Every structure is written in C-alpha cells, then in structure tokens.
Amino acid sequence: EPTLKERLIQIIPAKQEQVKQLKTEHGDKIIGTCTVAQAYGGMRSVKSLVTETSSLDPEEGIRFRGLTIPECQERLPKAPGGAEPLPEGILWLLLTGEVPSESQVKTLSKDLAKRAGLPKHVTSMIKAFPKEMHPMSQLAAAILALQSGSKFVEAYNSGVKKDKYWESTLEDSLDVIAKLPEVAALIYQNTYKNGDITHKIDENLDWSANFTRMMGYSSKEFDELMRLYLTIHTDHEGGNVSAHTTHLVGSALSDSYLSLSAGMCGLAGPLHGLANQEVLSWTMNLQEKLGNKQVSNEVLSDAIWEGLNAGRVVPGFGHAVLRKTDPRYTCQREFALKHLPNDPLFKLVSQIYDVVPDILTKHGKTKNPFPNVDAHSGCLLQYYGLKEHNFYTVLFGVSRAIGVLSSLVWDRVLGHPIERPKSVTTEWISSFVNSD
C-alpha cells in the first residue's frame, strides 16, 4: 500500500491537469459577483476562493472531501477498541480525498511520532512565557519559533523549482502537525501545572493519545473525546478567518510555520475560535446565577435575555454561513448523551439549546439562531477535568492546523498565485453607484 506521499504523487498530475484545463477553457466564466453590501459586509457568500479540502453547506454543514461528520465517524479508521475516528485519518482524507486503510493510518501515526520533538530554543521559550500570557499567543509565538526548521525555506533558497514546492510544504506541514501536541501540552503544563511533560512520545500510540498523555490525561474515554474533537475542528472550508489567513499569508510563499502562526492569531479572536472559551465561562456564570440548580425554561430564558439586553452576544450561537444546528455541535451532543448524560453542565447546555433558538429569533438580529461547534466543546472538556477555559482554543488550533495545512499543500500543488483582490474606496463606490 502506498504511503501518504506516494499516494499524493499518484493523484496530483490528474488534478493539476484538470485545473489547468478549467483555467484555459473556462477561465472567463463568472462564478460569483460582489455587491456593495458584500464589499462592506465581510464578503459574505462571495465565491472567490478555491479550497479543495472541505465544503460548507448552510443547511447541512461541513463535508470533508465529500464526507459528512457521521460518515467520517463511520468510515475513518479508529483506535483499537475505539468508536471515534483517528485524526490521522482525516489528515489523510483532507490531503488525498480518499479514506485511508487502517495500516496506512498506522504508518502515518508512526511517521508523525518520528517527526515529533521540539528544538531546545522552543521549549525554553515556552517555559519562559509568563503564566498570564494567553495560551493562544503562546501557541502562535511557538509556531513562529519552530520556523527555523522549515524545509521549504531550505528548498526555496537552494533554487528548487516551483512544481516541487509542494513536497517541502508537505514536509513542513507534517513536521508542524507532529510537533503541535508537544507545543500545546508544554503550554498547558507551563501555564497551569508543574511546567514539565513527563510522557515520552510512543510510536505505538496514535497522535491524539500521545497528546493527551503529554497533557497528563490517561482516561480511555477522554482519548476518544479528543480524537473526535481533533477530527471535527480540522476544517470548515476556505473563507473562515483561520483558513483564509493561512491561505493568504501562504500565498506570499511564506512557509507552513509563518502561515499557520498567522492563522492561529485569527483563531484567537472572540468571534472565531476564542468563542469556545467564552461559552464555558458564560455557561458557568449562568449556572452560578441560577443557584446551581435546575430551573424552568422561563427562568433560564429571563437570565439569557438579561445578557442580550445588555448588548452582549450569546456565545456559541449564530454563524456566518450555517443556517441550521452545526453538525459539529450535534456529534458532540451525541457523545455527551452516550458518555455523560447526567452531568449537570451538559443538562444546562441541553436546556440552553432548547430555549436559545427561540430567544434569538425573537431578538431578531442574528441570521442563524442555532448553536455552532463552540457551544458544546467546553462542557465535554470540563467533564473530564480539563477546566482551564483559556486553553480551549489551543485544542481547536491543534486540530485546525490539519485542515489549513492540507489546504496549503494543495495551494502549492496547484501553483496558486499571490492573493491580491482589488480594493476600492468609499468615494469610488459613491461615484460608481451615482453613475448608474
């Protein structure tokens, strides 16, 4: 059976040919337009990016290379005795568009384990970070510091041809994905625990289980949760802030480290990845305010309206593209129903799910009153003892790296150019609309 790189070498020529043909034969076909409202409105729905790895439907949610989340849960290889997909499997799927075999995933796990290990300057830098520095800032900085090992930079400087750029980008991407669990675990240990990782990477363990061990967790159920978590947060097509930023920075031929670090800075914003930390703090505040007991839907609704009326958003609800409950929310809810049905916080999260869509509909502003991925993840993590809210977005980031770096590899395969859309001024728009 071919390894990941061997399989990519087999697949790539046909895809390059297809894109070349599309560009020459249909290059002038219009796939989207842009209105004044869209230009001012964050380019919502403007079709102007190509991302191969996943696609988001407003009603159905994400499909990774054509597969829904339940299909991934069913078809991707699992750990022995496990029920959730291994993140290595989705990495393979996102890169190749194919479901890997068990043995291909095992080989990939071993390859990642071999690539793990941090240079000394990175470990000492993380250890020197003050505890007050947000873990996402630590993550972005650590990824930047790892850039000293970039194989793309080496290849570029030695004059490697453009059609080979993808190979060193793949190497860098696999290296950084392999190293991220240790980076994240060290940030965790440094910020909240005694400062050191005691687990040594085990080539016979999967990438995710090595990660949880380094963080100091060894429960089989938590391993399963993390495999699911690290699979479903990988990718959400190309226009979200972390994916688009990684692609944009990468389009300047910045390597995987520079591009990913930039993407992580975007993920750290409260309207994007940081929402998962905000959700748990918000939910626990609500729990405390309600006297840590079960209350009626009316009492809960009143408490939620209070925050809304004070001008705050309900974190974890709404989405720029989705118009239904996020399937990433649904699969986490199913995990909770299976493993922690009686957890008081899960019960509250469920009750919030019962009342918030109606509240946000009455509130009348948001285009989507349903929950997104972030509305559920914190509740699961805290159940297994991972209670440090500020750390949650780092887990999101470790997973997101898989998606955005797979996309970056394809940007290089297809030779996408530097991104440079045209901007206009308000004066230009004003005279344009008046000239009609």
Q: List contacts with ligand FAM (CB under 6 A).
A: 271-273, 275, 308, 313-320, 360, 365-368, 372-374
CB of 372 to ligand FAM, least distance (A): 4
Q: Which residues form the catalytic set?
A: 272, 319, 374
CB of 273 to ligand FAM, least distance (A): 5
| Residue number with the smallest Cβ distance to ligand FAM | 318
String of DSSP letters for 250-277: HTTT--HHHHHHHHHHHHTSTTTTTHHH
CB of 284 to ligand FAM, least distance (A): 16
Closest among 345, 352, 354, 359 to 287, alpha carbons compared: 345
CB of 249 to ligand FAM, least distance (A): 19
- Judged by beta carbon, residue 116 or residue 268, the one nearer ligand FAM is 268
Tokens at 87, concatenated: 């993140």
Closest among 299, 246, 274 to 372, alpha carbons compared: 274
Closest among 321, 328, 98, 100 to 233, alpha carbons compared: 328
CB of 319 to ligand FAM, least distance (A): 5
- Judged by beta carbon, residue 4 or residue 386, the one nearer ligand FAM is 386
Q: Which one-letter amino acid corresponds to residue 107?
A: T
- Judged by beta carbon, residue 263 or residue 318, the one nearer ligand FAM is 318
> Can you say how many angstroms the Cα of residue 320 is from the centroid of all Cα atoms in its chain?
16
- Judged by beta carbon, residue 224 or residue 237, the one nearer ligand FAM is 237
CB of 349 to ligand FAM, least distance (A): 14
What is the distance between the alpha carbons of residues 227 and 222, in angstroms, rounded to a whole number?
Answer: 9
Tokens at 316, concatenated: 């974890």
Helix, strand, coil shares of the chain, percent, nearest 5, are 60, 5, 35
- CB-based burial label for 323 (10 Å; 0-12, 13-18, 19+): middle
- CB-based burial label for 347 (10 Å; 0-12, 13-18, 19+): middle
- Judged by beta carbon, residue 112 or residue 243, the one nearer ligand FAM is 243
What is the distance between the alpha carbons of residues 57 and 142, in angstroms, rounded to a whole number?
Answer: 34
- Judged by beta carbon, residue 20 or residue 44, the one nearer ligand FAM is 44
What is the distance between the alpha carbons of residues 387 and 383, in angstroms, rounded to a whole number?
Answer: 8
